[in-house]
Amino acid sequence: MNFLKISIIAITSLSILSCSQHKKRITNITDYQNYMTDNSGTTDLQKCDETLNFWQARSEKDGGITEQLMLGGLYAKRFKVSGNIHNLLYSDSLLKSVLENHNNLVSVYHSLAANAITQHQFKSAKTFTEKAIQIGEKKSASMLMLADINLELGDLYGAKRILKDFKNKNSYAWLIREAKVKDHEGNLDSAIVYMEKALARVKGNDDLSSWTKTNLGDFYGHAGRIKESYQCYLDVLAKNPHDKYALKQIAWIAFSHDHDTKAAKEIITYLLNQQGIPDYYLLLAHIAKFEHDEVEASKNTKQFVALTAQAEYGEMYNKYLVNLHTNDLNNGEIALAIAQREIQNRPTPQSYDLLAWSYLNLGENEKALQIAKEHVEQQCFEPDAIYHLGMIFKANNQDEKGNAYLKEALQSEFELGPLVSQTIQKQLNRKG
């Protein structure tokens, strides 16, 4: 996304619409169809299960700390591969059982913190990390993890302070976090530069290279460099044909940029058969709504809501649930309750955006504006927050400022998706 100051935005809605109608197609099924088969060798899940079975057998025989630690890590890995949330919860239970007799193992606190971050339990993650810092071993790694958590909790100053004190500012670990900070500050160009530098540091490490390149692909997408983003995901798949995230992002490009709903649905349906996580149902619902298939949209939305309502998922999908309950399900009070919980979990500008958006959709326009001005404006640069700011200002009869924010949001139409982009276009074209 190009974060232009409102005062210099001079793009008319007509020119934006004209550009969007003449996009050159980016995705091509011949580029990725080989990654939508199960014929490329042993899958990551099969490999993971083979290793799990080995260590499970050892655990049943010896039952030592080494076996518990290995199994804890492997179940966390299995969650990433399978999407089965119970794997992550079992990983937690194994790691916590180790702490009952060995409460000075920094690696265990790191693993528990990583699991907590995945579950959006950021305050717990901070507690685990602080305990690791107190022990003193691997302090640099602990501090960098704390920087990650501070960002998630909205403590940008705390994260920047840690990175400023870090000695090796050419290390991979520092560079990827500096990229995150720049992204949080709305300086996407700098974020890309730092992530590109990080990628150059790990070209010999396939796992780190793939992780970095998917993040770089995301940044390119945010910046409107869609072709480069697409190439990043293809590069990742060339190294790891089972990388589901890269394939999912290609589906988003097919949908949001190319408007090829058929290709997008084929990819997502394939992924859903491999990994039954809620995310795929949400994307299928978006696609169906874009196709004006309300029956299919409703079916997939209900499936997403039902899955994420399971206690095991905790607060992991709050952002998406707030938007669903406000935009699609007309459950304003439910959305408000979720947004308020999110503020308790992570009082970030993005969480306050959800709160302001919930109040707006309940008709409490002035309250939404107050929250947005105090906690969101000039503090959160995510496209959906910019879009919400536009709608909130317009709802409070500040059309000039509202339209400026909506035009800025429309610069990120790829990231927002065609449904929101259409809504913005209607607002900008509306008279009076």
d(CA 137, CA 125) in angstroms, rounded, equals 18
Residue 21 has pLDDT above 60, yes or no: no
Task: Specify burial of residue 340 (Cβ count, 10 A radius: 0-12, 13-18, 19+).
Answer: middle
DSSP-assigned states of every residue in 275-294: ---HHHHHHHHHHHHHTT-H
Query: What's the pLDDT tens digit per position in 68-117?
Result: 999 999 999 999 988 999 999 999 999 999 999 899 999 999 999 999 99
pLDDT of residue 45: 85
Pair of tokens at residue 72: 């804890």
Cα–Cα distance, 321 to 335 (Å, whole number) = 7
What are φ and ψ of residue 267, in 5° steps? -65, -45
Query: What does the alpha-carbon distance between residue 87 and residue 96 come to, in Å, rounded to a whole number?
Result: 14
Indicate the helix (H) or strand (E) that contains 265.
helix 261-274
Give the number of other CB atoms < 10 A from CB of residue 366: 12
* Per-residue model confidence as pLDDT tens digits over 315-359: 999 999 999 999 889 999 999 999 999 999 999 999 999 999 999
pTM to 2 decimals? 0.91
CA distance linking residue 403 with residue 337, whole number of Å:
29
Report the chain's mean pLDDT, rounded to a whole number.
91
Q: Is the pLDDT of residue 255 over 60?
A: yes
Indicate if the alpha-carbon torsion angle 306, 311, 313, 316 is positive or negative.
positive
Q: Given a cut of 80, is residue 22 above it in pLDDT?
A: no
User: Could you read off the pLDDT of 28-62 as tens digits, one per residue?
Assistant: 999 999 999 865 445 788 889 999 999 999 988 87
- HSE-up (13 A, CA, CB side) for residue 55: 17
- ∠ CA 14-19-23, nearest 5°, is 150
Calculated CA dihedral for residues 92, 280, 310, 115, nearest 10 degrees: 20
The residue among 106, 109, 170 whose CA lies nearest residue 138 is 106
* Gap between the Cα atoms of 372 and 375, Å rounded: 5
245 confidence band (pLDDT: 50, 70, 90): very high
Helix/strand/coil for 28? coil
Mean pLDDT computed over 421-428: 94
What are the tens digits of pLDDT across the range 112-166?
999 999 999 999 999 999 999 999 999 999 999 999 999 999 999 999 999 999 9
Q: How far is CA 218 from the centre of its chain?
A: 10
Q: 30-50 burial by CB neighbour count: b if 16+ within 10 A, else e? A: ebbeebbeeeeeeebbeebbe
Pick from 372, 414, 298, 316: which is nearest to 88 by CA? 316
Lookup: tokens for 230: 């697409």
- How far apart (Å, rounded) are the C-alpha atoms in residues 391 and 405? 8
